[in-house]
A and B are shown apart, each in its own frame.
Chain A
């Protein structure tokens, strides 16, 4: 019944398809749904949440849904990410400095993973292009990108839940995908070098591998929306008022209360690729967002005794620290970080590795972030002291 209806709609709309990527079949537009909070269950389609949805060859944000970026993001195989946050009318998050903002029940956060594509390319051919902001207009042109997955984090009465959706091949719909999967892709650089890799969509339990940030409890939490990651400008659309600090914007739209009057004293992590920022700040920001959700004193990787939180130092940060249960992940190196010697540092080995038993993070990438490695290498080179 439902399939027949889709088929009929597809036929009707096939005449008026515009903005479609060449070579892909036109897909139907469904009526837009307003952003909403679903307090139980696992909706079968992403569309039901009404946060981000397809409309006329674009992926658009519903009214009231706010996009955001992080100063330094987690590396995910060079995928681009469109992040959004929304709260039910009359509710707001409470500002707090060290941890994730205190979001109210009803908050829905989404993160859509996508890659740039060339016109007419096969679906598994994606581009490595980190220079272009494909969401600059506040929406995505589906002729320019391939949507891979959208992860929903919803704050329900009992706590946060992760509900993942996978975009189908014709990009018409993202459907519930709790068991995850592997998508073989080819990543092509500007120099036309191509690297095949397995893009891994995590299963629901694996969401907790990163989002279960306190190993003493079963609860999961958002990771990105901490003040130090959010404290930066964002180029909002004209209707949202243009470029502005994200903390300020969250406050203006009523999503955040308790914001200090003066944002000058509010913590902010460096942007990892900001060559004008201090090297130490850039490297620590990179390690913070990529590692500290597990490598903190209470995270799942506290079993290693390694913390990569912004305030960690000494052996806890890995300096001259012996590995605990690294196995092949030591790369035959003796210390987490050997100051001045990146090639003797397990930290670098694990970032350069791609095999499951050697690489870090344990999940979430199948390629090496060459630019990220270069940054952390450079940082280790500048560290003073030595191990004996």
Chain B
């Protein structure tokens, strides 16, 4: 698997040339026509944001509005509200300056019922803040998926108590919904489609991801840890999601973390700890329905990380999911060869793929302490250890080694998220 992952550029090329993909890194779709859009409103709205005070609700009527710069908000306690995610359309197709569509730094921020389209960079970035609610927002690159699209759709980072619900993200060249370096996170009832990563939780603590649909992404739901950041992530529950057919070619930018995700990945945990994956319906993801891996498979090196970084995925528990299909056509020649060698031309990789990296320093008498184990409880779910540490020389199905259970995590709760909208 490591070779496949490392040789991703090659893998993508192969995927494109062999599989039925629509083109080199993009799909064909026509951008929204904004020739009739309101171009005056942007100044009014930006001025409202400059003058906003705690408690203000800034409403945007239905209509199509064009922006040429980033909208920025610094005040606490502000709500931005449209009339619906298909009615109030904010378009940055003509963007001349700025790295985001909307950039927010503030506590008690709510944004709801509007669409953010065709930004140069990220759609909505919330950089810092407590009590952040993003409801019924659509972020979309209307020309279809493309490497030229912005990186993140909905992007809260270094936030606390953050709720993303009822929203839609389509076409991001990195992650559609991305929560980074945050604490107390609920991502529920959203839809992510045609992004490199549908939903990604990175370097975050206590996240619940449920009731979402992730389909047609390169990877459906990702739980990652990256080195050199102020916060190490752990503690995510991924449950009751529909994670189907995430087989879109990887159109991410080389060098980004998600560029290492093989097309056809359902749910992937990379270098994160204490992750519980249960009750999901995971189907038809061509590489594997679930991947558990270490950054060591994806281009990690010792000089690239602070000494304290722990790349090993530990305390991962997969149970009670419904798996169907998947694994029949893994991304890249190496994985394809591996699949064919082990399971035959018509066979499939097992539902769970583990790259096999284990922290030898944590073994006690040759055994991993219970809380740090990888558990795949259900008897009908097989696990392939790809033997990354052995140079992928001896990949083997060893499902029985993972038949264990971990302690269930407590639900994430905070006031904002008490009622589901």
- A interface residue numbers (CB < 8 A to B): 178-180, 182, 198, 200, 203-206, 208-209, 212, 215-216, 218, 297, 300, 302-303, 305-306, 314-316, 319-335, 346, 355-357, 362-363, 366, 385, 387-388
Name the residue of chain A whose CB is nearest to the CB of B172.
A327
B97 surroundings in chain A (CB, below 8 A): 182, 198, 200, 356, 363, 366
CA–CA, A387 and B300, complex, Å: 10
Q: Given the complex, which residues of B lie within 8 Å of A363, measured CB to CB?
A: 70, 97-99
Q: Could you list 8 examples of A-B contacts with CB < 8 Å?
A: A178-B47, A182-B97, A205-B73, A303-B180, A315-B227, A327-B122, A387-B304, A388-B303
Given A303-B158, A315-B306, the answer on whether A324 and B73 have CB atoms closer than 8 Å is: no
B229 contacts A324, C-beta separation under 8 Å: yes
Return A374 CB to nearest CB of chain B, in Å. Answer: 23
- Assuming the A-B contacts A205-B73, A334-B254, A387-B301, are A327 and B228 also in contact, with contact meaning beta carbons closer than 8 angstroms in the complex? no
Q: Are B178 and A325 in contact (CB under 8 A)?
A: yes
Pick the residue among A206, A327, A385 that contacts B174 (CB under 8 A). Answer: A327
Name the B residues within 8 Å of A327 (CB-CB): 121-122, 150-152, 173-174, 253, 256
Contact B254 A180 (CB under 8 A): no
- In the bound complex, do residue A208 and residue B74 qualify as a contact, i.e. CB atoms below 8 Å apart? yes
Given A319-B303, A320-B303; A325-B229 close (CB under 8 Å):
no
Chain B residue at minimum C-beta to C-beta distance from A386: B303
Closest residue of chain B to A307, judged by CB?
B228
Give, as a whole number of angstroms, the nearest-CB distance from B157 to chain A.
5
Neighbour of B257 across the interface among A182, A203, A205, A322, CB < 8 A = A322
Which B residues between 228 and 276 are near A, CB-CB below 8 angstroms? Answer: 228-230, 253-257
Chain A's closest residue to B252 (CB) is: A327
- The contact of A357 among B50, B151, B228, B304, by CB within 8 Å, is B151
In the assembled complex, B305 has its CB within 8 A of some CB on chain A: yes
B46 contact set on A, CB distance < 8 A? 179-180, 203
B52 to chain A, nearest CB (A): 10
Which chain B residues in 201-242 approach chain A with CB under 8 Å?
202, 226-230
Q: How near does chain B come to A132, taking the closest CB pair, in angstroms?
A: 28
| CB neighbours of A323 from chain B (8 A) | 255-257
The answer to whether A206 and B72 touch (CB under 8 A), given A182-B97, A303-B157, is yes
Interface residue? B95 (CB, 8 A): yes
Q: Is B297 an interface residue (CB 8 A)?
A: no
Beta-carbon nearest neighbor of B43 in chain A: A179
B255 x A330 contact (CB < 8 A): yes
Contact B95 A356 (CB under 8 A): yes
CB of B99 within 8 A of CB of A305, answer no
Which A residues lie within 8 Å of B305 (CB)? 315
Most buried by B among A205, A215, A319, A346: A205
Given contacts A182-B96, A200-B69, contact A334 B105 (CB under 8 A): no
Are B99 and A362 touching (Cβ within 8 A)? yes
Chain B residue at minimal CB-CB distance from A305: B228
Known: A215-B158, A316-B228. A332 touches B151 (CB 8 A): no
Interface of B is mostly: loop
State whether A182 and B69 are in contact (beta carbons under 8 Å apart), knowing that A320-B301, A327-B121, A356-B120 are contacts in the complex: yes
User: Top 3 nearest A-B pairs by Cβ distance?
Assistant: A327-B151, A357-B121, A330-B255
- CB pair B174–A302 under 8 Å, yes or no, is no
CB of B143 within 8 Å of the partner chain: no
B347 interface contact, C-beta 8 A: no
- Size category of the B interface is 35 or more
How near does chain A come to B398, taking the closest CB pair, in angstroms? 30
Complex alpha-carbon distance, A179 and B71, angstroms:
10
Proximity bits, B163-184, A CB within 8 Å = 1, else 0? 0000000000110001011000
Would you give the shortest CB distance from B191 to chain A, in whole angstroms? 21
Residue of A at shortest CB range from B107?
Answer: A218
Asked if B128 is at the interface (CB within 8 A of a chain A CB), the reply is yes
What's the minimum C-beta distance from A78 to chain B, rounded to whole angstroms? 17
Is B127's CB under 8 angstroms from A215's CB?
yes
Q: Smallest CB-CB separation from B74: which chain A residue?
A: A205
Residue from the set B69, B105, B305 with the largest chain A CB neighbour count within 10 Å: B69
Among residues of B, the one whose C-beta sits closest to the C-beta of A217 is: B128
15 additional contacts (CB under 8 A) given A178-B50, A179-B43, A205-B72: A182-B69, A198-B97, A205-B49, A305-B229, A305-B230, A320-B304, A322-B226, A323-B255, A327-B256, A330-B255, A330-B256, A334-B299, A357-B151, A362-B99, A385-B303
Bound form: Cα–Cα A176–B337 in Å: 66
Which residue on chain B has the smallest CB distance to residue A206? B72
Residues from chain B with Cβ under 8 Å of A333 in the complex: 254-255
A204 to B74, CA, bound (A): 9
CA gap between A326 and B259 in the complex, in Å: 12
Interface string of B102-122 (1 = CB under 8 A from A): 010100000000000000111
Task: Take A320-B303, A321-B304 as given contacts and tell me if A203 and B50 are in contact as well, using a CB distance cutoff of 8 Å.
Answer: yes
Bound CA–CA A179/B41 (angstroms): 13
- Chain A residue nearest to B104 (CB atoms) is A205
Contact across chains for B226 and A324 when beta carbons are under 8 A apart:
yes
Q: Mark B79-109, 1 if CB is under 8 A from A, else 0.
A: 0000000000000000111110001010000
For A356, give its contact among B73, B98, B229 (CB under 8 Å).
B98
Q: Which residue of A lies closest to B181 (CB)?
A: A303
Which residues of chain B have C-beta atoms less than 8 A from A326's C-beta?
151, 253, 255-256
- Within 8 Å CB of B50, what residues of A? 178-179, 203-205
Q: How far is the CA of A362 from the CA of B151 in the complex (A)?
A: 14
**A356:B121 contact, CB within 8 angstroms:** yes
Closest to A204 in B: B50
B127 & A303 in contact (Cβ 8 Å cutoff)? yes
Set of chain A residues within 8 Å of B96, measured between Cβ atoms: 182, 198, 200, 356
Cβ of A342 to closest chain B Cβ, rounded Å: 15
Residue numbers in A under 8 Å from B306 (CB-CB): 314-316
CB of A203 within 8 A of CB of B120, answer no
Instruction: Give the chain B neighbours of A362 by CB distance below 8 A.
Output: 98-99
| Interface flag for B148 (CB, 8 Å) | yes
Q: Which residues of B contact A322 (CB under 8 A)?
A: 226-228, 255, 257, 299-300, 304
Asked if residues A330 and B253 are in contact (CB atoms below 8 Å), the reply is: yes
Task: Please name all residues of chain B whose beta carbon is closer than 8 Å to the beta carbon of A216 when the two chains form the complex.
Answer: 128
In the bound complex, CA of A212 to CA of B129 (Å): 14
List B residues 35-85 near A (Cβ within 8 Å).
Answer: 43, 46-47, 49-50, 68-70, 72-74
Complex-state Cα separation, A209 to B205, whole angstroms? 26
Q: Is the CB of B99 within 8 A of A357?
A: yes
Given known A-B contacts A327-B121, A327-B253, A203 and B303 have beta carbons under 8 A apart: no
A206 to B50 CA separation, bound complex (whole angstroms): 10
Residue of B nearest to A362 (CB): B99
Are A182 and B68 neighbours in the complex by a CB distance under 8 Å? yes
